[in-house]
Structure 1
């Protein structure tokens, strides 16, 4: 387990003593696929539930055969933790009958919050006929779900340009989405610029920044290449010759994430969504500190 001793805790704590407003936190997980991953998943869930987050989100398998498994995991997490769970739901590989069945199962199980996404197609030649905005509209007709959608401070990789990306986001909001959660990023300026552009385009729901604490830099670099996320040169430099998953790597990742959160907080951001990769250590350390200082 990754712990800070009292001295290190106080050194880090002095940077955020001015966080006087309550900070809302949420955490994302992916479904475990084997026994070892299940143990890691539940260890992380049980650790992070102590922080009383607003919700846990659970990502969605691309294979339709995973539907029942995802429903079981989502309902089990909700029952065990008594914390709201927001399953991801993608529409690209489902027909309307399947989507309606899944949505009604969630609603009947007491799952009222869904992260509505288009998703990645299993068949690259398949024509996209349903988008996230269509899914939002469809879900709202079934029940009054609390719906989160995705937003992209650095533009979706498939978007034509920034303007079209904002148009698609606004359409999701206009169809009934309640808030947007962003792709992870490492430049707070990009997020703040994006938030300003959202407001200028009539998007007034809460835009929740997605925070991905860095533990294994090589892994994050791969993710960034796939998602059109820019990693500043100074981050490349600081992780040179740093062993992955080491205490040094985690301390650097902690500092980067905390500086981003502090900067965003001073710009009025009070909600943060953490991509855990099913590992609680760094997210727990960050949010334990935030929860302590924001309620003093």
Structure 2
């Protein structure tokens, strides 16, 4: 079935020259799918800033609009101002604005402590130049005191001037639909785009999910555990699970899909083709 819904892909800055060359191949393969945009992540406290900038500029060579992640923790207003001006000069018009994590050993959180403050700052400095994406957590941010508090934190980011949101990945579509419904009741009309994590490696996925608070349903966990080191079976089952999740999200009215690629092409292409993109 052919789908007309938009989709986008996220990458992280490679650490090695070999990783950079591999990513260019992946970039070109995924650019051929004609996504709405690419995004590039940003390390804790801006620790990958130079690599993020380099990767963003290389991504744009594929002709795809590319959004750098930008976090405020550990950054001064002046350094953020310089970076925003640099991106404007380079023709960047989309940013994923995040609080970010404070690296261990770094004492100060910086002049801006929360993502809503970063959104306000970007709007004050650059007006409406940037389309601003923020993060959303259907299953609640792991550091939030409760669901209601997290919902109000999200509303603050939208009220500060964010255009849309990308969610943490999840495997339960009901969590997403309930979150969207609650946001609508608060008067939030900005699009909330589901973040999609292809399943390719169970041990990595379990570690990521425990750290970020994403629940892996027991039936998925048990099936993945049963495959042991059989990576082909893990990928095949993962492709089926994520394709079905995406189909449910599209049928339920999700405005777009954002794929966390982990700098891999094949799993993301397989799911997109299953969906008729």
TM-score when scaled to structure 2? 0.93
- Aligned residue in 1 for 2:37: 55
2:118 to 135, 139, 145: 135
Change (3 A) 1:156 1:64: closer
- Aligned residue in 2 for 1:23: 5
Q: Which range is displaced more, 176-185 or 196-205?
A: 196-205
Change (3 A) 1:244 1:204: farther
**3-state SS, counterpart of residue 239 of structure 1:** helix
- Aligned residue in 1 for 2:175: 190
Q: Contact between 2:45 and 2:71, CA under 8 Å: does it hold in 1? A: no
- Aligned residue in 2 for 1:223: 208
CA distance in 2, matches of 1:280, 1:243: 23
1:103 equivalent in alignment to 2:69: no
Q: Contact between 2:133 and 2:165, CA under 8 Å: does it hold in 1? A: yes
1:242 equivalent in alignment to 2:223: no
CA distance in 2, matches of 1:245, 1:70: 34
**Deviation (angstroms), 1:68:** 3.0
**Matched positions, count:** 273
**3-state SS, counterpart of residue 44 of structure 2:** coil
CA distance in 2, matches of 1:42, 1:278: 10
Change (3 A) 1:63 1:198: closer
1:87 equivalent in alignment to 2:72: no
CA distance in 1, matches of 2:233, 2:220: 14
**Deviation (angstroms), 1:158:** 0.9
Q: Which has the higher contact order (CA 8 A, sep 6+)?
A: 1
TM-score when scaled to structure 1? 0.88
CA distance in 2, matches of 1:193, 1:92: 30
Change (3 A) 1:235 1:54: same
Alignment of 1:64-213 (within 5 A): 64=46, 66-78=48-60, 80-122=61-103, 123=105, 126=108, 129-143=112-126, 144=128, 145-213=130-198
2:262 to 277, 289, 296: 277
CA RMSD for the aligned pairs? 1.7
Deviations 1:130-161 (A, max 9, x none): 21001111111222210000000010011111
CA distance in 2, matches of 1:248, 1:36: 28
Structure 2 residues without counterparts, runs of 5 or longer = none
Q: Contact between 2:165 and 2:190, CA under 8 Å: does it hold in 1? A: yes
**Deviation (angstroms), 1:168:** 1.0
